[in-house]
Chains A and B, each alone.
Chain A
Amino acid sequence: MRRSLRSIRDVVLGLMMLPMVTLMSLMGQTTTPPPQTFSATIYLDYRYFLTNAGPVTLKPASDTSAYLNNQFVFRRAYFTYENKISDNLKFRFRIDADNTANVTGVTLTGDPVAGVSLSKDDKLRPFVKHIYLEYTNFIVPKMVLNVGMIETLTFKPAEDRWGLRSVAKTLVDGYQDITKQSISATSADIGATLKYSISKYFRLAAGIYNGGGYSHLETDQYKEVELQAQFTPVPGFSVVGYYDYEHKLPVASLPAEIKPAAATYKVDAFFEMVKNLVIGGEWFTFKADLNQTGGERFNRGGWSAFGRYAVKPDKFSLFARYDSYQPNSLDRDQDLDLVIAGFDWAPYHASWRLQPNVWFYNYKNGARYNANATKNSDVVFNMTFFLSF
């Protein structure tokens, strides 16, 4: 099994290197002047916690303790520059900004140093999300090569169909935010992807990356490989299979004969046969040898179903989604599910939208997430403002 995976990895690496050499030679050709575009997308929420006894929105016992029951949140701001270098070659540079984990200072105490304290703020700070070249009709028509800090293959099919990233990430993308458990999934990474539309029925894609996501450099000798196949047997119905794999460094707690690895298996299905209606579903399981309880490996997984109906395209849509999360296959008390429902309204122009939405969390055992919770549910209202220009 591992040998065959190594072979797949080698083939993918080989495929990537050959095109890159060709790409460098093609870049020297005379081309049309590059049309350039600049765009920005911003998501802002007014968030109100409608319950106060669940694991997330738990009201503190003391009135003097801070209680975050409503807030304005600048969730994301993207600035994207694209340069169409030629009919086939495009460059993209995207800056993203969020306000998590902003360490602003480190204080060392004692001599010799006995302690470290970090100071942190929540300013919206920018970081590079994408910086890549895209070559379309590469080698053969309908083959696309991306090289650089690129979008991974993991979320894109579901994200395109869900179409409401401003309201919520899709199942796998949002998994870590919701469950606080890692599944090694990232929306961007340094590497290369090759996508090929064989026909309208069948598409293939392969990618190879550092595996550290856009937040980290390569940290080990292993690369992550992703494979994806989409089958569209009839207009408007697609099934997408996805697989990724990466070796991990051995750890002392595992028997020496185990060469640890992590893999994600994912299947998506999308129904778009009815005008203005999109129905989609995602299922995945994440298997990592490092995830062990009492010598037994546990898996993480989940599934999601969503629907979006454009009552008036570009103007008014209704949406709803159900997610089911199983963070530990050996401890099903950690299971939780989430229902999201709302509407998307562009009162004046498609670039400025209001997206009021409600999130209902249900926990099998809320105390597993917060020991003081008296309810197994949370209800959160968001008035999402979406700006794009």
Chain B
Amino acid sequence: MKKIIVITALSLALLGSLLLATPARKMIQIKGSDTMVNLVQILAEEYMGKTSGAAIAVLGGGSGTGITGLINQTCDIADHSREWKPKEIDQAWEKGVTPKFFVVAVDGLSIIVNDKNPIEQLTIAQVGALYRGDIKNWKALGDYQKPVSLYGRQSNSGTYVFMQEFVLGNKNYSADMKEMNGNAQIIEGVLQDEGAVGYVGVGYLYDEKNQIRKGIKVLRISKEPNGTGYLPTDKTAVDSGAYPISRPLFMATNGKPKADVAQFLTWIVGPEGQAIVEREGFFTIGEGKYKAANDKSFK
């Protein structure tokens, strides 16, 4: 009996010390998209700087990681650069999670090549053919004799899934594509490889002087073979849909956001947050459909 009392007392003491050690202030946990991680980190830092007592932790890992985190309730906000898959919606339902989605920025997904490559413009179909492995040499697209080197993301990335759905026509990527950990690694690969083609979020195109990084070239993309090509850096073209590879960037919460989370999200989609979105090279959500969808999710 004494043993039981001693062990129970020790266990309770341990439990008590753990609970006492738990910090009183709740930190907002954010996980997800690598495309968004730098942007959200900067948003969080600026918000914490101006909001007394705010505490926010931001982690990447890919859109799938963030969505899984929200489903398993290990984070408060999931960043994702693609829509949720039906399987994820089902899993969330099963676990009592009812996601609310907020568009916080718009990304013109950029197709980049090494600046030695003379190609200036591709159609969306040609980009798909490159990434499916149907075109093996740049000679097939212009006056450049070089084997094509494909740089892309890993399959847990929202960008990987977005490209596959909207550019590759839901076909498989070429087995030769190099699957990189993040946008920065893709940029690095394209800089080093004269035959390279890569896709990155528009926010990753710029250097610290807010200029397009030296050594890479951003391609114009057209919808049709003889159509006008547009750059992902052209806000008007992205907003109007003329630039064909753009996408909304989302933050998702479990149910209607409350307290600190609601305040943070309201700030992001408001003028201050959107100014930072623009400063970091992404596009603002504007006053149209995305704002209307956000207003609905807040209610």
Chain A positions within 8 Å of B, measured between CB atoms, are 29-33, 35, 48, 50, 84, 86-87, 141-142, 197, 199-201, 203, 230, 232, 235-238, 272-276, 310-314, 316, 343, 345, 356, 358, 379, 381
Q: Would you call A84 and B155 a contact (CB within 8 A)? A: yes
Which residues in A have their C-beta under 8 angstroms from that of B24? Answer: none
A272 to B, closest residue via Cβ: B96
> Does any Cβ of A come within 8 Å of B254's Cβ?
yes
Assess whether A87 is in contact with B96, with CB atoms less than 8 Å apart. no
Which of A142, A343, A379 makes the CB contact (< 8 A) with B4?
Answer: A379
Contact assessment for B3 and A50 in the assembled complex, using a CB-CB cutoff below 8 Å? yes
User: Which one of A87, A235, A313, A345 contacts B93 once the chains associate, using CB atoms below 8 Å?
Assistant: A235
Quick one: closest A residue to B177, CB to CB?
A32
Task: Tell me whether B18 and A310 are in contact (CB under 8 A).
Answer: no
Do A32 and B7 touch (CB < 8 A)? no
Residues 63-104 of B at the A interface (beta carbon under 8 Å) = 72-74, 86-87, 89-90, 92-98
In the docked arrangement, what's the CA distance between A275 and B254, Å? 9
- Contact indicator B87/A142 (Cβ below 8 Å): yes
Asked whether, in the complex, the Cβ of A87 is within 8 Å of the Cβ of B87, the reply is no
Q: Given that A30-B133, A236-B94 are contacting pairs, would A197 and B175 also be in contact in the complex, using a CB cutoff of 8 Å?
A: no
Tell whether A316 pairs with B94 under 8 Å between CB atoms, given A32-B155, A50-B7: no
* Contact A343 to B15, CB < 8 A, known contacts A35-B155, A235-B97: yes
Most buried by A among B7, B72, B93, B96: B96
Question: Bound state CA distance, A141 and B11, in angstroms?
Answer: 48
Instruction: Mark B119-147 against chain A: 1 for CB-CB distance below 8 A, else 0.
Output: 00000000000000100000000000000
CB of A175 to closest CB in B, whole Å: 26
Residues of A within 8 A of B15 (CB): 343
Q: Which of B251-297 contact A (CB under 8 A)?
A: 254
| Cross-interface CB contact of B90 among A197, A275, A276, A314, cutoff 8 Å | A197
Residues 1-30 of chain B, each 1 if its beta carbon lies under 8 Å from chain A, else 0: 001100100010011001100100000000
CB within 8 Å for A142 and B174 given contacts A235-B97, A275-B254: no
Considering only CB atoms, which chain B residue lies closest to A381 in the complex?
A: B7
- Shortest distance between the CB of A374 and any CB in chain B (Å): 15
Contact A200 B94 (CB under 8 A): yes
B41 at the interface (CB under 8 A from A): no
Closest chain-A Cβ to B117's Cβ sits at a distance in Å of 24
Dominant SS among interface residues on chain A: loop
Chain B residues with CB under 8 A of A235: 92-98
List 10 extra interface pairs beyond A30-B133, A31-B175, A87-B155, CB under 8 A. Answer: A30-B172, A50-B3, A86-B172, A87-B164, A199-B90, A230-B94, A235-B96, A236-B94, A310-B73, A316-B22
Q: Which chain B residue lies CB-closest to A357? A: B11
Could you say which residues of chain A place their CB within 8 Å of the CB of B97?
235-236
Flag if A345 contacts B172 (CB, 8 Å). no
Within the complex, the shortest CB–CB distance from A204 to chain B, in Å, comes to: 13
Instruction: Verify B86–A356 contact, CB threshold 8 A.
Output: no
Q: A236-B95, A272-B95, A310-B73 are in contact. Are A141 and B179 (CB under 8 A)?
A: no
List the 8 closest A-B pairs by CB distance, nearest first.
Answer: A236-B96, A200-B93, A272-B96, A200-B90, A273-B96, A313-B74, A235-B96, A32-B173
Bound complex: CA of A86 vs CA of B160, how far in Å? 13
Complex alpha-carbon distance, A30 and B136, angstroms: 14
A379: which B residues are within 8 A, CB to CB? Answer: 4
A31–B176 Cα distance when bound, in Å, is: 9
Nearest B residue to A347, CB-CB: B18
| 5 chain-A/chain-B pairs, Cβ below 8 angstroms | A142-B90, A199-B90, A200-B94, A230-B94, A313-B73
Q: How far is the CB of B299 from chain A (nearest CB, A)?
A: 18
Task: Give A366 to B22 CA distance when docked, in angstroms.
Answer: 43
A234 to B18, CA, bound (A): 35
Q: Which residues of B contact A345 (CB under 8 A)?
A: 14, 18
- A165–B86 alpha-carbon span in the complex (Å): 28
Nearest Cβ in chain A — how far from B168, in angstroms? Answer: 11
Q: Which chain A residues lie closer than 8 Å to B96 at the CB level?
A: 235-237, 272-275
Which chain A residue lies CB-closest to B152? A32
Q: How far is the CA of A272 from the CA of B94 in the complex (A)?
A: 8
CB-contact partner of A35 in B3, B172, B179, under 8 A: B179
The yes or no answer to B38 lying at the interface (CB within 8 A) is no
Q: Does B154 contact A (CB under 8 A)?
A: yes
